Structure 1
Amino acid sequence: MQFGIFSVGDVTPDPTTGRTPSEHERIKAMVAIAQKAEEVGLDVFATGEHHNPPFVPSSPTTMLGYIAARTEKLVLSTSTTLITTNDPVKIAEDFAMLQHLADGRVDLMMGRGNTGPVYPWFGKDIRQGINLAIENYALLHRLWREDVVTWEGKFRTPLQSFTSTPRPLDGVPPFVWHGSIRSPEIAEQAAYYGDGFFHNNIFWPADHTKRMVELYRERYAHYGHGTAEQAIVGLGGQVFMRRNSQDAVKEFRPYFDNAPVYGNGPSLEDFTEQTPLTVGSPQQVIEKTLAFREYAGDYQRQLFLMDHAGLPLKTVLEQLDLLGEEVVPVLREEFAKGRPAGVPDAPTHASLVQSLGTASQEVTVV
């Protein structure tokens, strides 16, 4: 099972000091956080994609390429690649290039984003969001698998005998996760292609997450990719830790109360009760995260949001030390217990290359 962190890249004032980092500071902090993630033994770093203040990660492949040169093992991913407003041709090119530079340590998560105005900024109609996601991904899927593509659709100009370059490393496209909080159409899309489904459940109760994941698993099996338990599932989470739970609550409360996303809403106590947010000791984080399996089944990837709401870099790095040293080793061990033999690991470039080779040998034998 893979464990990692994802960042939305918000530039938020620290409510305890009133200081707002510059965009430069925030970008450099995200790089430092990614490097720290590898140092403490995490598997994945994922960045969001936003094109408006107060967020900075408008060019994920640029950032991930920079991080790739400074890491050795970390899987570099996105917590959203806007399949609706980005040109699928450019996505194909950018991520194939990143895949080569990172020696295959790349996957990505398709999403529609959470900022409505981004659609007209890129010449698109938000009312066509689902249709854009479906059509654009259908084209992207072909661009990575066919050397020459002739295509015509509704939302972009046709392609005539087009070849996307560079071609995917070793002939294997980056693995794709489809991220959604509330859209069953996206769970269906992930199942249709046999891709991964990432439910970013950080704002939602367990029963909603359960319904979305079960839908994806059922449809994955329906399309003949394997059994429902073999479907590739990822989940989000939010944590803030101190060794003493009371210290964690006291320290995190002003950040929670003033956060752009959930500030001035439910209380910290209500939010931790109703969603995956855990504010407390490392043991409390372990216990709550292990409970995700009760409603999502055995899954492949767990990403935590840790660098948001104005938390200073020093604090985030301390959180990563606790995550890597005290939490993730226990989670790895406990999630492995009782895991059915038929449940696959999260796909990596190496495993996908191996699968391609096995499939080619089977075809040759036949």
Structure 2
Amino acid sequence: MKFNLMSLGDLVTDPVTGVRSTNARRYKMFPEMAALAESAGFNGINMGEHHGIEYIYSAPPVVLGAIAERTTTLRLGTAVTLLANLDALRIAEDYATVDVLSDGRVDVVHGRGNFFASTYTLFGQSLDESAARFKENAELVDKLWTGDPVHWSGRFRASINGEALQPAPIQRARDCMWIGGGSSLESVELAARLGWKLMLPSAFGDPSFFVKVVDHYLATWEQCGHDWQPEIGAGWHVWVGSDSQSARAQWEPRYRAYHAWMNELLGVVNPSIPKQNQRPFNFEWLTTKGPAIVGSPDEVVDRISRLSEQLKVTTHLAYMDMGGMPEKELFSAIELFGSKVIPQLADA
């Protein structure tokens, strides 16, 4: 079992202290958090990408390149790369560069991003084209990532006439390419067909919703006849403390603030929020039946174990820096997770 830290870069005022970080500090803190994660025993980090909103991370390859120079073993991932919105050749170039700089440590989690409809408007694209754009770009990235000359023509970008990806990446696509999603079986089938890994999202819905998604992915994978094993990851909202009571008391106001902030944001960027994500804030439900994992180290271990079994997850992304959590408290929780949670599950 592997554990990564994840951040989407939400810029939220801490409801406890009233302190609000700055845009610049949030960016500078992320490489510090990544270096701490490596020393604490995490396998990797995953960085979100959004545009024009207060999820402020917009250029992950730039930041991941900086982190590559400060770390030696940490996997450098995304959460997610907006494959349907961006040019597939530039995506391949950017992340191949990170792969080379890091000696083969990049992980690219590709998402359609159609949950944030405003991004399509910002890029002058139609949301109705999202599935077609995503499929075309995924197939093109897969071809480019071989490093061989590519002859290709498609619907949404100019033809490629024998050019090869520069730089040539170190890893194979099967080792570092993921599709992030779960609401669309088309995306799940695409992941299985390409032989890419599947990353389930860190949404506010019921994790049991994804059981049928995982089953479909694995069944499709088997039909495709790949000679390597599939891998499933998932993102969770996570907090750990020395004991259950203090962990919940410390995290609840931040999680509540994040939930309210995100729901307000989604009302602006998404005119039709999926039903599984339309839930009022219920801390008890979220932390026992939902996507939130909070408590003492032993409680966190128990919940992760059960979710791993339910969804066949072997890579867990822990989103811990949400809701304006102060850096001192955040870094202490990361160290506690590394010393008390990971050792119990790393070889499970």
**Structure 2-normalised TM-score?**
0.90
Larger Rg: 1
For 1:294 and 1:165, locate their aligned partners in 2 and report how far apart those are by CA, in whole Å: 40
Aligned to 2:332: 318
Q: Runs of 5+ in structure 1 lacking a partner? A: 336-366
Across the aligned residues of Structure 1 and Structure 2, the Cα RMSD in angstroms comes to 1.9
Aligned to 1:108: 108
Aligned to 2:158: 157
What percentage of residue pairs aligned between the two structures are identical?
31
Assess if the C-alpha contact under 8 Å between 2:34 and 2:67 holds in 1. Answer: yes
Aligned to 2:35: 35
Paired AA for residue 209 in structure 1: F
Deviation >3 Å, runs of 4+: 170-174
Q: Give the paired residue count.
A: 331
For 1:282 and 1:60, locate their aligned partners in 2 and report how far apart those are by CA, in whole Å: 30
Distance 1:223 1:170, change over 3 A: closer
1:308 aligns with 2:322: yes
For 2:290 and 2:263, locate their aligned partners in 1 and report how far apart those are by CA, in whole Å: 12
Distance 1:170 1:56, change over 3 A: closer
Q: Which digits, 9 at most, give the CA deviation of each residue in 1:323-353, with x for residues without a partner?
A: 10000100124x2xxxxxxxxxxxxxxxxxx
Assess if the C-alpha contact under 8 Å between 1:210 and 1:296 holds in 2. Answer: yes
Q: Which digits, 9 at most, give the CA deviation of each residue in 1:43-102, with x for residues without a partner?
A: 111101111231221110100000000011101111100100110010111111111111
Paired AA for residue 94 in structure 2: D
For 2:141 and 2:129, locate their aligned partners in 1 and report how far apart those are by CA, in whole Å: 18
Higher relative contact order (CA 8 A, sep 6+): 2
Assess if the C-alpha contact under 8 Å between 1:220 and 1:226 holds in 2. Answer: no
SS of equivalent to 2:20: coil
List aligned pairs for 1:32-71, cutoff 5 A: 32-71=32-71
Aligned to 1:17: 17
Q: CA deviation at 1:20?
A: 1.3
Distance 1:172 1:111, change over 3 A: closer
Greater displacement, 118-127 / 283-292: 118-127
Aligned to 2:342: 328
1:271 aligns with 2:289: no
Aligned to 2:221: 220
Q: Which digits, 9 at most, give the CA deviation of each residue in 1:203-250, with x for residues without a partner?
A: 2323212111111011000111159xx321112222212212111222
For 1:59 and 1:210, locate their aligned partners in 2 and report how far apart those are by CA, in whole Å: 32
Q: 1:291 aligns with which of 294, 303, 306?
A: 306
For 1:110 and 1:172, locate their aligned partners in 2 and report how far apart those are by CA, in whole Å: 12
SS of equivalent to 2:262: coil
Distance 1:170 1:29, change over 3 A: closer
**Structure 1-normalised TM-score?**
0.86
